[in-house]
Amino acid sequence: MWDKMKKSERADFIYSRLNSLYPEPLVPLKSENIFQLLVAVLLSAQCTDKRVNEVTPDLFALAKDPFEMERIPVDTIYNIIKPCGLAPRKSRAISELSSILVKKYSGKVPNDLILLEELPGVGHKTASVVVSQGFGVPAFPVDTHIHRLAQRWGLTNGKNVIRTEIDLKKIFPIGSWNKLHLQIIFYGREFCTARGCDGRICEICRTCFPNRRKAVITTKG
């Protein structure tokens, strides 16, 4: 019975299916360098990737690196990124982190999680995305969507994204983390959405738990 599979067996099936569906997932945020990636990921907080990709061309046309960005008035940054939401805070963070990168790191984005998390507006998830997608350092960024799917798939019972990240790192091989992060996001957007699946509808949910009769009530990330 699938319902009696071990967690590791469910993980193997999920890993195999996602690799079949998304063999080479592309980074959804558009950027030409790691600094631009950092800014784009910062902007994506509580905002869609589509919206971020709509505003960043105008921003990066003015400033392609931290040397140029620190000279852009905060109000100018704000007016460009306003459609992303939280623009006052994000515009100040972009300006401030640009100055820090210039003064402290010679304009280079550090590839260290702890150092990244010290930058204004950069939390653990943002830092994890930058090191994984920008530098190829193994990391497993977990947002609320991955948190939701991991609970539906019985891979964690954590109450928050921090616990879920720990659990997923234990289950999946380190070499898979960077790609798997994107694969789960893409699957969640396409098949296992917040309203389109409740733990009983999409292929992975039905395959792993065919006898599940009640919707999965997930805790907030």
Q: How many CB atoms are closer than 10 A to CB 111? A: 14
Single-letter residue type at 4: K
Cα 115 to Cα 26, 41, 68: the distances in Å are 26, 16, 22
Please give the positions annotated as active site: 125, 143
Helices within 48-160 (DSSP H only): 49-62, 66-69, 74-81, 87-105, 113-117, 124-129, 135, 144-152
Are 67 and 107 in contact by the 8 Å Cβ rule? The answer is yes
Question: Rounded to an integer, what distance in angstroms lies between the CA atom of residue 188 and that of residue 71?
Answer: 39
